[in-house]
Amino acid sequence: MSSWPEPDWLAPESFDEALRLRAERDDATVVAGGTFLAILMNQRMLTPTAFLSLQRVPGLDQIEVDERGLRLGALVTHRAVELSPVVRERWPALAQTFGVVASPRVRNQATVGGVLADADYASDPPAMLAALQARVVVQSVRGEREIPVEELIVGHYETTLEPNELIVGVVVPNGEARATYRKFRTRSHEDRPCVGVAAVRRPGALRIVVGAVAHRPQLFPELCDPDAAPEEIGRAYADAIEPIGDVRGSAAYRKRVIAVEVRRALEELAA
């Protein structure tokens, strides 16, 4: 009876070491919180030959605010974002979004960098981060670059990260804004979304991102007329999106929910 070899476990203790190992071992699967990774392995969708754990790398678990805005380190947990006083005061919709992910047990483990690198279509935070025009900070031995969240995720479990790049953190810009996130579930309170709608209104501008309905968060800037009626925008988004069908809802059902939840999100912003 054959068995799989034990994967190598790489546990760098500095950021430079992590970048070096990432460049040398592009076969290694990066481990942050590991919540989604465990699901993929249990379902035999992933059989890593090596793990690159970031848990011992200092400085990646910080929440900071500077002239650019809010910076969330890659190892900041969902629970930390949810409970952060500065996030709750200045970016309350972001705290709300991270606070509706699964259960406290999961939120205490899952990380900001992990949820973006996984590119799981049924995650809550990417839609809200995209609506807030957040940028993902990534680094390799070649240097650092930033990627808008809406350009990072390109398909089911697919991103625009280069093989030797690591997510360092996320920057959420400053600026006056009203925002909300609506999560529509079809099963339990801890279920993943059937439809997730993130809406952000700034002076003279509107951004709406719909998540959990397709291979990547759905954004249609041409439909985000800040002067249009909420019902009109909801119908336009439902018409523009070609949803998937899964255990949380059929494609036709999702289209109806999109129209309703986009309208309700915009009504919340106007209240």
Instruction: Pick out the chain residues at pLDDT < 50.
Output: 1-2
Per-residue pLDDT of 158-180, as tens digits, reads 999 999 999 999 999 999 999 99
Quickly count: other Cβ atoms within 10 Å of residue 70's Cβ.
23
Beta-carbon contacts of residue 81 (< 8 Å; ≥ 6 apart): 63, 72, 87, 94, 95, 98, 112
What's the whole-model pTM score? Answer: 0.94
Beta-carbon contacts of residue 171 (< 8 Å; ≥ 6 apart): 68, 69, 70, 71, 134, 135, 137, 146
Contact 254, 261 (CB under 8 A): no
Q: Which amino acid would we find at residue 222?
A: E
| Domains parsed from the chain with CATH numbers | 8-53 (3.30.43.10), 63-173 (3.30.465.10), 178-270 (3.30.390.50)
Q: Which helix (H) or strand (E) holds 80?
A: helix 78-83
What is the chain's percent helix, strand, coil content, to nearest 5? Answer: 35, 25, 40
Q: Which amino acid would we find at residue 115?
A: V
Q: What is the pLDDT of residue 5?
A: 72
Q: What token pair was written down for 14?
A: 């500095």
Q: What is the pLDDT of residue 3?
A: 54
Q: What is the pLDDT of residue 233?
A: 98
Q: What is the pLDDT of residue 48?
A: 87
Name which of 178, 63, 79 is nearest 125 in CA terms.
79
